[in-house]
A and B are shown apart, each in its own frame.
Chain A
Amino acid sequence: MDANELLIWARGPGFDIALTIFVVGMLLRLLEVLALGKKPDLSAPRGSGPEGAVRTLIARTLPRKTVFDKEPLRIINGYVLHIGFFIVLFLYGPHIAFFESFLGFGWPALPSGIVDAISAITILSLIAALVFRMNNNVMRFLSTPGDYIAWAVTLLPVLTGYLAYNHLLLPYTLMLALHLLSVELLLVVAPFTKLTHMFSFAMARWYQGYQAGRRGVES
């Protein structure tokens, strides 16, 4: 199988398979969670649950000073990593074309050169995340193989995208095929690792925020 064949497979059947696993897997995970239900809270509310839920959903995006002061680098790196990943994913012209193809609408792209620079930063940030994970005693203690797998499958699409764009290491067509395959790997792996947090974070924040809202406490 040469690069063209690989690219054709990755753009066609490969993507279909990966996307199907991703969608089925994520819905499975979601319904597995929701099925467990939540008993209604019978205590007299002091505030509004939904209001608290929405507040926490948004506010929890920012760190608490008490923890930020202790781990500023790790927290800042977390932002760089996530924001970098989102910019590269959502503001690169070819990626927008992908979303447009099934959403039916697009949005303006960032200059490719800027996206290129941001992807380099994102790669460095991912490497830093790994260094933190291996050097911080709490993170090392908590880490499971799943954490490293999730890290690797997140890095690969950014890395291959960067290499493809800059014509490094391998011919563009092959690198593009590898880029798509790495995205497909990410899609396949995501529902079965901590990458589920891309959706479940909202549920987690909602549930905690809802309770906090009812109790009239900050969260």
Chain B
Amino acid sequence: MSAPSVEKGIQFIKGQIDAPVASFFSACVHCGLCAEACLFFTETGDPKYTPINKVEPMRRIWESEFTLFGKLKSMLGMGEKVDEATFAEWETLVYDGCTLCGRCSLVCPVGNDISGMIRKVREGFAAAGHAPEGLIGASTRAVEIGSPMGVKLPAVKAQIKHLQQDTGLDAPLDVKGAEYMVLLSSMEIMNFPEYLEAIARIMKQAGKTWTIASKAFEATNSGIQIGVSDIAKVLVSRIVDAAEELGVKTVISPECGHAFTAIRWDGANLIGRPYNFEVKHILEVLDEFVEQGLIKTEGKEDAKVTYHDPCQIARKGGVVKQPRNLLNKIANNFVEMEDGGEMNWCCGGGGGVSANERADEVKLTAFNKKKSQLQALGVDTLVTACANCRLTLEEGLEENEMDMPIVGLTEMLAEYLVEDKKEEA
């Protein structure tokens, strides 16, 4: 273990450069179209936010270390250096000016996965000591306390107790052999307890066994956001260990974007082996339940609603048609936002931006995109499926003095469950 340094940062970036990254840099023609896909550019107009520019330090290292021409340039002293100043200059672009939303990757004409590269270059920035304070704090809490927001098991237990008292429903802890293991995000524990209640009602109606692991109730993964695989691995291992200990069939990722990416796609690669359980997003599970007739809904929302696709769930997670199936079941007046689906615009708070206080201002500027989209649409309610999006959107709406309820899709669905209606009646 050694102190963070430029050398360490460079070494980490070198280690991250693989064939895809090298092919992306070889293919870039500097057309600049990625800028048009990035809300940090469209909302600020500052070309430094052009996505491909955000990985410029990585490009320099690739060129000077992995290409003959670049090596010659370096020998002649013509190579572009990556030093302390470079890290300092790009730090805000890499962390504050990117939510890893991935729109740039989808519009790049040559097919460069730019957001994937930004995720990789963060490894180097963190190793060089250039990760933002906010994310360091969140990661530290996640590792030491168990949750980036400092939520501990007693808080979960308290919520379960509330649930039992208020509804008579149960959220079983550490049930071995349960079919589903439900994960929560800190925000759902702290800010949106409706989620747990909704899960309990849905699972009951579907007749499925489920559990919450006391060792791994937290789904979020600050390591993914700050870009430290070692930390991400520690955090994801907790979930894997718990799931395998309890012998569950499926782990359900909550309404949280990056948590889904962490558990569904990155986890196995972090721990270095495939899981022996499945991972599904809650919307995938709900859609299956509806398909299989396990849960039934009654009545429909009359208000005009739209759906905000969380980037990690839709664009990067492939859960696009499920929320639409579900919404059409329970809403009469569901309208699509412009570019809805896999090209949806980010809320502006993903990829660790919302945990990074330094980025608050640019985050609010970036929110202007969502603001104008919502204004153009004129909806009554905004539905989404990510607690982080939800919080960012709430903040943005409040800042812009827009009054609009934001609900999670899972809890909205739960409201229209047939059985529940009966109980309430």
Contact = CB atoms under 8 A, between A and B. Distances in A.
A78 interface: yes
Given A138-B41, A215-B265, A34 B339 contact: no
Given A142-B52, A208-B105, A203 B27 contact: yes
A142 B53 contact: yes
Contacts of B105: 208, 219
Interface in A137-183: 137-144, 147
B36 A197 contact: no
Contacts of A43: 264-269, 274
B33 A75 contact: yes
Interface in A114-152: 136-144, 147
Contacts of A56: 111
Interface stretch (A5-13, A58-66, A87-95, A98-106): A58-66
Interface string A180-199: 00000000000010101100
A45 to B, nearest CB: 10
Contact of A139 (B31, B112, B265): B31
Interface in A38-97: 38-39, 41-44, 46-47, 56-57, 60, 63-67, 70-71, 74-75, 78
Interface stretch (B61-69, B85-93, B219-227, B346-354): B61-69
B23 interface: yes
B342 interface: yes
Contact of B19 (A28, A37, A75, A141): A37
Nearest to B69: A192
Nearest to B277: A44
Contacts of A60: 108-111
A219 B21 CA distance: 17
Contacts of A219: 105-106
Given A36-B19, A138-B47, A205 B343 contact: no
Interface stretch (B132-140, B152-160, B311-319, B356-364): B311-319
B24 A204 contact: yes
B342 A217 contact: yes
Given A147-B30, A203-B27, A208-B20, A44 B110 contact: no
Interface string B318-351: 1010000000000000000001001100000000
B26 interface: yes
Nearest to B270: A42
A39 B45 CA distance: 37
Contacts of B26: 29, 33, 196-197, 200, 203-204
A46 B24 CA distance: 24
Given A42-B269, A43-B268, A33 B19 contact: yes
A218 B103 CA distance: 11
Contacts of A211: 113, 116
Interface residues of A, number: 58
Contacts of A196: 26-27
Interface string B42-86: 000101101011000000000000111100000000000000000
Contact of A78 (B31, B37, B107, B339): B31
A144 B30 contact: yes
A77 to B, nearest CB: 11
Contact of A215 (B32, B36, B272, B317): B317
A194 B29 contact: yes
Interface string B177-196: 00000000000000000000
Contacts of B279: 44
A28 B109 CA distance: 24
B28 interface: yes
Contacts of A35: 19
A200 B269 contact: no
Interface in B248-288: 264-269, 272-275, 278-279
Contacts of B17: 36
A205 B111 contact: yes
A26 to B, nearest CB: 10
Interface string B130-167: 00000000000000000000000000000000000000
B399 interface: no
A44 B320 CA distance: 19
B22 interface: yes
Nearest to A46: B318
B342 A207 contact: no
Contact of A194 (B19, B28, B48): B28
B423 interface: no
A216 interface: yes
A32 interface: yes
Given A44-B274, A64-B107, A217-B318, A142 B30 contact: yes
B111 A44 contact: no
Given A28-B68, A42-B269, A194-B28, A209 B111 contact: yes
A200 B66 contact: no
Contacts of B116: 208, 211
B18 interface: yes
| A-B pairs, 9 with minimum CB distance | A205-B111, A141-B47, A207-B20, A138-B32, A200-B26, A203-B23, A42-B268, A217-B318, A216-B318
24 contacts: A32-B22, A32-B66, A33-B22, A36-B19, A42-B274, A43-B266, A63-B33, A63-B109, A64-B37, A64-B107, A66-B37, A66-B107, A67-B36, A78-B109, A139-B32, A142-B52, A192-B69, A201-B111, A203-B26, A204-B20, A204-B23, A206-B111, A208-B111, A216-B318
Given A65-B343, A66-B36, A205-B111, 16 more contacts: A33-B23, A33-B26, A34-B19, A36-B17, A36-B19, A42-B268, A60-B111, A75-B33, A140-B47, A142-B52, A194-B30, A203-B26, A205-B110, A215-B317, A216-B318, A218-B106
